[in-house]
């Protein structure tokens, strides 16, 4: 399907837009005609694209430039910058990389560089960075994602893969035709569905939810936040204590067994180890039967409610949706494992509209009824360095070099880190306990980043290389998570002296004598066409139609035809488990995993279990009375464009909002718009109160994404005046198996601020005290 272009197009993680340009600048982003529910996030770039926060020229921290690597690292974030020429900075970076390679080895270069970068297939910052570093001998990498690290490590032991089934969750079409009950652990939050990795052609989550609400499907939203399910759906809201989903699911499992509602035939044919799990549920292994009453005490729900839910699930074709956020808690492996176990007990896995789904509307693509494009990525070469860290263990890497850590059944060693190189992300958004990260941030001798604006990362780097935005470069949006392929036009000239990431690394590689290896002797335009044509070859092999590049370039976009048959996760396995076994040791769903059991981890044994979180509302003598939920914001992707007008319009008196129930507001003598200090032993931040009856009492909701802005940038525990909740969240792994983040396991307190506070400076550029460009 091809459509003649009108205005030029660009694509982002939150949507595709037609772009109106005048006098060399973008004036307006207009909704792509194919998008039925466009996101307004993109508009936030217009007022900041040529603003004061753009990085104008290569910039080096004063102390580093004058005194060399490792100088005054405690001044990162306060030291002024000096602008230098590209030729000078290319030599500085090349010399520093060569010094560290020679003296310490390539493992001393950490380039996990986690983040969402931009939507273009070629100008993907991390891919460019990793390709470049592999040309000079490799780097220490990161593994998995902050979004669902616990699932990425655990689910392959249960189902043989995670990504495979994440990308093929049962489609909304199948749900609409077959599902009777949708039980949503963590809800189905439409705000998250605005975004998707690699670009979005058309948003479909809202349309499908509304269609479901008009059908006979019943929805149950299990979340401390009522708005995690669209109000028009009219679903039932159950609000257990945060972090108790596993206990609730165990109470459901006990009820299914007790009342004879378990599909024994399914368990025998398709699963492994159910008897060992059942012994735990019945209390035979620990003396504690996991009854509905036991679960009710933990969850603060009625036992009758839990029993009725179990019975309702057994009477209906039931889809269990587990939000990605469930993995971001202490013991975050357990809710997904337990949800799969309950789905197996119901015997509906592999049936149309039934079984398990990994986070409907966690991003736009989940549950899509579309053909997965065989998108070819930029070749990154081979990394000869074996050292890595689980993605959320960066502070441990920096603070504990040469110490050991457990991960997925093995023991590893944190290498010593001399250089951190970041491109296309922001650790001061993603990571937990920013005070601890600040301690670790002082350890490397050099921190380099490619950035387009002076965000929290750029201000705390030693060398900042100004990169283009997607509006300043040509590319294609081509991803396995969206059926649309979009030609992204270059719409405006580069700001200042900024370059594409490809050009940045080309210059450094030239200074290091590896330019031809890095470029592959292709220009960026040639690479873009190569990526398209290689994808086209794969498409032809699979019987998928793609126009030739010249025609695509002229027309501007096309869409792969949708599959005729509804997508049903694990349908092939159910139809013939012998011919289509899972990639587990047994070939079946491993309710009990001998492999995991043999790891010997008390915090993650061989089947799903309840383990009390390190912080939760069930603690009898709580020092901090509120459970903080720091969810994905609805007005930006992570921290991107926090300085833009759309994000800043949602702030209250210039501060991030924090939502609490009226009962809690009354106890604290707080009213709407009050400025409060949110605090615990790890840190503190400022926020403005919103009273919200859709929040469970005892819970505080504060979205992530505010740029880190401490009152005293030299102090690791200084109050963030802009409201970044990750100054509060604990930096602990989910378990020894996955070592994922646990941002949603966090207790805090609130107190009224009734005196003037320092103004937010997150959106002010650093001091530039001169340049050496001549």
d(CA 173, CA 208): 8
Count of all residues that appear for the chain in the document: 774
Catalytic residue chosen out of the listed positions 14, 64, 110, 114: 114
**CB neighbours of residue 593 within 10 Å:** 24
> Chain centroid to CA 459: how far?
23
Q: CA 274 to CA 286: how far, in whole Å?
A: 17
Residue 264 makes CB contacts below 8 A (sequence gap 6+) with: none
Q: Do the Cβ atoms of 452 and 55 come closer than 8 Å?
A: yes
Answer yes or no: 254 catalytic. Answer: no
Tokens describing residue 334: 């357990």
Q: Collapsing DSSP states into helix, strand and coil, what is residue 60?
A: strand
Alpha helices by DSSP H, 160-204: 163-166, 172-178
Instruction: Please tell me the distance from the alpha carbon of residue 728 to that of residue 433, in angstroms, as a whole number.
Output: 6
360 pairs with which residues across the strands?
A: none
Integer Cα distance of 176 and 171 in angstroms? 9
Q: Read off the tokens for 549.
A: 């590049």
Write out the DSSP string of 638-652: TTTTTTSHHHHTTSB
Please say whether the beta carbons of 364 and 405 come within 8 A.
no
Tokens of 40: 């307004």
| Of 86, 116, 274, 763, catalytic | 116
CB-CB contact of 716 with 731 (8 Å): no
> Contact, 687 vs 676, CB < 8 A?
yes
Structural contact between residues 655 and 681, judged by C-beta atoms closer than 8 angstroms: no
With a CB cutoff of 8 Å and minimum separation 6, the contacts of 693 are: 226, 661, 662
Q: How far apart are CA 208 and CA 224, in angstroms?
A: 23
CA distances 179 to 227, 400, 451, Å, are 22, 50, 46
- For every residue of 559-573, DSSP letters joined together read EPPPPSSPP-TTHHH
Helix (H) or strand (E) holding 388: strand 388-390
Q: Which of 602, 731, 709 lies closest to 146, judged by CA?
A: 731
Distance of CA 307 to the CA centre of its chain: 34
Q: How many helices (H) and strands (E) does the chain have?
A: 25, 30
**116 is known as an active-site residue:** yes
For strand 318-322 and strand 355-357, is the pairing parallel, antiparallel, or unpaired?
Answer: parallel
Bridge partner list, 19: 29
First-to-final CA distance of the chain: 53
Are 389 and 420 contacting, i.e. CB atoms less than 8 angstroms apart? no
How far are the Cα atoms of 15, 110, 227 from residue 36, in angstroms, in the given order? 11, 41, 21
Residue 651, token pair as written in the block: 């702030």
| Rg over CA atoms, the chain | 26
Of the candidates 444, 423, 239, 256, the residue with the CA atom closest to the CA atom of residue 338: 256
Task: List residues with catalytic annotation.
Answer: 114, 116
């Amino acid at each position: 399907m091809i459509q003649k272009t009108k205005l030029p197009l660009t694509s982002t993680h939150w949507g595709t837009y037609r772009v109106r340009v005048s006098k060399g600048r973008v004036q307006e982003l207009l909704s792509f005609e194919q998008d039925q529910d466009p996101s307004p996030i993109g508009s936030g770039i217009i007022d900041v694209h040529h603003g004061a926060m753009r990085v104008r020229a290569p910039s080096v921290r004063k102390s580093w430039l004058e005194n060399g690597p490792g100088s005054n690292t405690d001044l990162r974030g306060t030291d002024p910058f000096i602008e230098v020429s590209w030729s000078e900075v290319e030599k500085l970076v090349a010399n520093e990389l060569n010094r560290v390679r020679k003296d310490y080895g390539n493992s001393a270069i950490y380039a996990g560089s986690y983040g969402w970068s931009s939507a273009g297939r070629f100008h993907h910052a991390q891919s460019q960075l990793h390709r470049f570093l592999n040309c000079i001998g490799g780097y220490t990498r990161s593994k998995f994602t902050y979004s669902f690290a616990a699932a990425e490590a655990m689910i392959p032991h249960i189902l043989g893969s995670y990504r495979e089934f994440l990308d093929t969750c049962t489609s909304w079409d199948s749900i609409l035709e077959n599902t009777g009950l949708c039980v949503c652990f963590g809800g189905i939050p439409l705000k998250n569905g605005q975004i998707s990795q690699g670009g979005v052609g058309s948003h479909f989550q809202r349309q499908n939810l509304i269609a479901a609400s008009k059908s006979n499907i019943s929805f149950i939203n299990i979340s401390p936040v009522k708005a995690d399910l669209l109000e028009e759906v009219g679903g039932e809201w159950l609000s257990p204590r945060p972090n108790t989903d596993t206990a609730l699911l165990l109470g459901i499992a006990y009820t299914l067994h007790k009342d004879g509602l378990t599909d024994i035939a399914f368990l025998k044919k398709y699963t492994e180890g159910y008897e060992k799990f059942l012994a735990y549920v019945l209390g035979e292994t620990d003396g504690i039967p996991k009854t509905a009453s036991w679960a009710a005490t933990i969850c603060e729900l009625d036992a009758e409610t839990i029993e009725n839910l179990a019975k309702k699930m057994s009477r209906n074709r039931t889809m269990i949706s587990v939000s990605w956020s469930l993995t971001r808690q202490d013991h975050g492996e357990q809710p997904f494992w337990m949800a799969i176990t309950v789905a197996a007990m119901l015997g509906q896995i592999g049936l149309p509209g039934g079984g398990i789904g990994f986070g409907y509307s966690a991003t736009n693509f989940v549950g899509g009824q579309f053909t997965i494009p065989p998108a070819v990525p930029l070749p990154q070469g081979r990394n000869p360095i074996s050292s890595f860290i689980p993605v959320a263990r960066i502070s441990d890497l920096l603070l504990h070099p040469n110490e050991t850590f457990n991960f997925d059944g093995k023991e590893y060693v944190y290498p010593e880190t001399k250089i951190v190189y970041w491109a296309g992300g922001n650790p001061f958004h993603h990571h937990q306990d920013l005070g601890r990260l600040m301690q670790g941030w002082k350890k490397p001798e050099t921190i380099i980043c490619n950035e387009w604006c002076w965000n929290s990362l750029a201000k705390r780097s030693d060398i900042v290389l100004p990169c283009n935005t997607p509006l300043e470069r040509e590319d294609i949006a081509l991803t396995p998570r969206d059926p649309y392929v979009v030609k992204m036009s270059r719409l405006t000239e580069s700001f200042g002296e900024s370059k594409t990431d490809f050009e940045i690394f080309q210059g450094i590689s030239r200074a290091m004598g590896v330019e031809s290896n890095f470029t592959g002797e292709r220009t960026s335009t040639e690479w873009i066409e190569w990526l398209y044509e290689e994808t086209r070859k794969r498409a032809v092999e699979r019987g998928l139609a793609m126009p030739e590049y010249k025609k695509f370039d002229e027309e501007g976009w096309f869409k792969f035809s949708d599959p005729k048959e509804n997508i049903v996760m694990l349908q092939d396995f159910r139809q013939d488990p012998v011919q289509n076994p899972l990639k587990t040791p047994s070939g079946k769903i491993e309710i009990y995993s001998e492999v995991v059991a043999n790891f010997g981890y008390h915090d993650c044994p061989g089947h799903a279990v309840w383990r009390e979180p390190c912080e939760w509302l069930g603690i009898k003598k709580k020092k901090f009375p509120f459970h903080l939920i720091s969810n994905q914001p609805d007005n930006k992707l992570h921290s991107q464009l926090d300085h833009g007008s759309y994000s800043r319009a949602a702030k209250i008196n210039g501060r991030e909002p924090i939502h609490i129930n009226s009962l809690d507001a009354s106890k604290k003598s707080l009213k709407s718009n009050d400025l409060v200090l949110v605090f615990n032993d790890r840190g503190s931040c400022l926020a403005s109160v919103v009273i919200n009856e859709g929040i469970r009492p005892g819970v505080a909701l504060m979205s992530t994404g505010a740029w880190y802005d401490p009152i005293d940038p030299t102090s690791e525990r200084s109050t963030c005046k802009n409201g970044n909740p990750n100054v509060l969240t604990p930096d602990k792994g989910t378990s020894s198996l996955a070592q994922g983040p646990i941002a949603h396991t966090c207790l805090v307190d609130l107190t009224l601020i009734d005196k003037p506070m320092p103004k937010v400076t997150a959106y002010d550029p650093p001091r530039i005290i001169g340049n050496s460009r001549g």
